[in-house]
Amino acid sequence: GAVVSQHPSWVICKSGTSVKIECRSLDFQATTMFWYRQFPKQSLMLMATSNEGSKATYEQGVEKDKFLINHASLTLSTLTVTSAHPEDSSFYICSAQVGETQYFGPGTRLLVL
Amino acid sequence: AQSVTQLDSHVSVSEGTPVLLRCNYSSSYSPSLFWYVQHPNKGLQLLLKYTSAATLVKGINGFEAEFKKSETSFHLTKPSAHMSDAAEYFCGGGSQGNLIFGKGTKLSVKP
């Protein structure tokens, strides 16, 4: 149980385009999901907390207009990187909360050329 | 303020020998504590969690961790390392689902 999927697993895009990443809880409902960013050989950095039916809460320094988060249902949250630039290239990981525990997706590798 | 510190950035052991990955936390209250493992280019997999029940927590793949309030520690151990244990390990702590992660410990296992 508590399986979280992400799609796509990797994506390459041109600078200036937008990329949407989906995070799904497959066998449970999650009112709260989280989006993290991980740079090579570093820990996870929380970007935002996504709450079903309401606006996401962004961490300090994360541009909400650049990283659009939508949590339209109890099993799906999406992260859209708008007007992506090479510095947005990273590993993006989502998680879904069950009680006190977060269950993580497999991550999405984004490369912006 | 709450913080999680992983004391070693890299630990190297031989196959079949014990594993010790250290984690200390700082919190004004009893937090929930977690250990996750991350294999290359993969997401995080939950190994075990402490949520104020038993102080010795058993997880998957033979790992266990002991919550020691007096030492503010939550070290991860395994009696005998396997080659497949080589990965990055993250200690995390928090409440109400909000997690703070340590910087991670890379575990290498030599044959």
pLDDT along chain B (111 residues), means of 10: 88 98 84 90 89 87 94 96 96 80 95 94
Average pLDDT over residues A79-89: 96
A44/B90 Cβ within 8 A: yes
The full DSSP string for chain B is --EEEES-SEEEEETTS-EEE-EEEE-SS--EEEEEEE-TT--EEEEEEE-SS-SEEE-GGG-EEEEEGGGTEEEEEESS--GGG-EEEEEEEEETTEEEE---EEEEEE-
- What is the predicted pLDDT for the residue at B97? 64
Q: What integer pLDDT is reported at residue B1 of this predicted model?
A: 62
Banded pLDDT at A98 (limits 50, 70, 90):
confident
State the best of B9, B38, B45 to mutate against chain A, taking most chain A CBs within 10 Å.
Answer: B38
Residue with the bigger pLDDT between A45 and B107: it is B107
pLDDT category at A13 given cuts 50, 70, 90 is very high
Among candidates B42, B46, B51 on the partner chain, residue whose Cβ is nearest the Cβ of A103: B46
- CA–CA gap between residue B41 and residue B34 (Å, rounded): 20
The verdict on A57 touching B (C-beta cutoff 8 Å) is no
With beta carbons under 8 A apart, name residues in chain A contacting B32.
Answer: 100-101
State whether the Cα torsion A64-B101-A1-B87 is positive or negative.
Answer: positive
Helix (H) or strand (E) holding A66: none
pLDDT for the residue B6: 95
Task: Please give the pLDDT value at position A57.
Answer: 92
Q: How far is Cα A89 from Cα B36, in angstroms, rounded to an integer?
A: 24
pLDDT of residue B41: 79
Task: Quote the pLDDT of residue B96.
Answer: 63
pLDDT, average across residues A65-72? 92
A6, A36, A9: which is closest to A24 by C-alpha? Answer: A6
Q: Do A106 and B42 touch (CB under 8 A)?
A: yes
Which residues in chain A are contacts of B90 at CB distance < 8 A? 43-44
What's the average model confidence in pLDDT over A80-109?
93
* pLDDT tens, residue by residue, B16-35: 999 999 999 987 666 789 99
Question: What is the enclosing helix (H) or strand (E) of A71?
Answer: strand A67-73
In sequence order, the 6+-apart residues with CB closer than 8 A to the CB of A47 are A35, A36, A37, A58, A59, A62, A67, A79
| Residue-level pLDDT at B73 | 93
**Percent residues over pLDDT 70 in chain A:** 99
